[in-house]
Chain A
Amino acid sequence: MAPLQRATHAIPIVFMNVPDPVGAGFVQSMAHPGANITGFSNFEYSIGGKWAELLKQIAPNAARALVLRDTSTPGGIGQFAAVRSAAQSFGIELTPAGVRDIDEIELNVAAFARSGHGGVIVTSVGTGVIRKLIINLVDRYKLPTVYPYPYFAADGGLNAYGPNASEQVRRAAGYIDRILRGEKPADLPVQAPTKYELVVNLKTAKALGITIPQSLLVTADEVIE
């Protein structure tokens, strides 16, 4: 999103899956974007609390969590803050780790896995492109892990909670249609997701030797078997 914003102030831009578009400076406010940019944000920061809660459900013994998060964007920082405040109430001690350098991720995961009773929370910023790498890595160390989007679970992630990307694309197409018919992005409010999905991958759970509690399975929107 940032490279496009820098490249033009004239052509309308519709974004999707952007956390905190106000904090990032893409729009003036959610209700009144104000310039050539509008779109769909991916979550309220409070979802970070939900990720911590999910980790506690799939790994009740977890006392530590490695949090993969990006410190270079307001979205990444905000998501980590939300995870941290929730983790405290669950008695989980956090180890933050960056997502920019792949070698560093490998080293951090390996070091973290040396002590027991740990799990991983993967936040959304900067992780989509390297999701396969992250999934393979945490699986190698059999670490229970929570992911930020349903499509991570479709690719083998243990379980994910977040907005459905297809839904975001559909709604973005709706805005693009309205802009092509003459509406101005400045007048189209930024919208939050209407639907969050919990996806559990039982195939991965089995491979990792993790038992997913029945109480979680019944609330899942999708169970991959």
Chain B
Amino acid sequence: MIFVFDSYVLDTGRRELRRGHTLVSVQPQVFDLLEYLIRNRGRVISRDDLLDAIWGGRIVSESTLATRINAARSAIGDDGESQRLIRTLPRKGIRFVGEVREVEEEEEQPRARRAAASRAVATAADLDAWDMGIAQSTDRVRVIGILNILGPDDPETKARRTVFEQTLQQLGWKVGRNLKIETRDIGSRDLDRARRDAAELVALAPDVLFAQAA
């Protein structure tokens, strides 16, 4: 699963935390803590929950706990004072309060499935090509990120999307086959909102971005 929040991507499959294209290094326990908080962001996580989930029920000191939480905050550009993403609720626990989008790894899975299928019927030559990475590069799903000033319900947005996909299809690209389109249709002139949406799109590391002005 890939979780996108703020300008970060937490990729549980690869166990990576990325900011844009940059890898953020985190200790394994801190990664586990982030993943646990994000997966359970709908509720307050108590001290006992954390000990169970991250330390396997072992008792650890208050300071160890605090150090890991601080490390998790600092890895995602947060701190104990602003508590922008990870909030402490005194005597209750902590909760991840950032807005999170879950991205399915459909660009990964079809590739893996196709790879498995092609291996099943592959000749020796095919396998050589595969091993050299050729099969992989031609199979890769490309990602386009669209930042659109008009809103998601604007009929103009829908009309443009249709034209866009039709044109790409004529050029050999099809959504769901070799193409994935991520969109942020803003629908306002709120600059902060636009910045956030732009950061989110960039964090997905698309192959190309499309800025649709009004």
Q: Are A124 and B214 in contact (CB under 8 A)?
A: yes
**Interface residue B17 (Cβ < 8 Å from any Cβ of A):** no
From A12, A39, A176, name the one whose CB has the most chain B CB atoms within 10 angstroms. Answer: A176
Measured in the bound complex, the distance between the Cα atoms of B194 and A162 in whole Å is: 25
Contact string against B for A residues 157-174, beta-carbon threshold 8 Å, 1 for contact and 0 otherwise: 000000001100110111
Cross-interface CB contact of B214 among A17, A173, A177, cutoff 8 Å: A17
- Residues in A whose Cβ lies below 8 Å from that of B194: 3
B201: chain A residues at CB < 8 Å are 4, 7
Known: A126-B189, A129-B188. A173 touches B167 (CB 8 A): yes
A18 within 8 Å of B (CB atoms): yes
A128 in the interface (beta carbon within 8 A): yes
Assembled-state Cα–Cα distance A8/B206 (Å): 11
Alpha-carbon separation in the docked complex, A39 to B208 (Å): 12
Residues of chain B contacted by A126 (CB below 8 angstroms):
189, 214
Rounded to whole Å, the gap between the CB of A71 and the closest CB of chain B is 14
**Of residues A7, A39, A124, A151, which shows the largest number of chain B Cβ atoms within 10 Å of its Cβ?**
A7
Interface CB pairs A-B, < 8 A, 12: A3-B147, A3-B199, A4-B202, A11-B205, A39-B211, A124-B214, A126-B189, A127-B214, A129-B151, A151-B156, A166-B160, A170-B164
Chain B residues proximal to chain A, CB less than 8 Å: 7, 20-21, 142, 144-145, 147, 149-151, 156, 159-160, 163-164, 167-168, 171-173, 186-189, 191, 194-195, 197-199, 201-202, 205-214
What is the interface of chain A, defined by CB distance below 8 A to chain B?
1, 3-4, 6-8, 10-18, 39, 42, 100, 124, 126-130, 151, 165-166, 169-170, 172-174, 176-177, 179-180
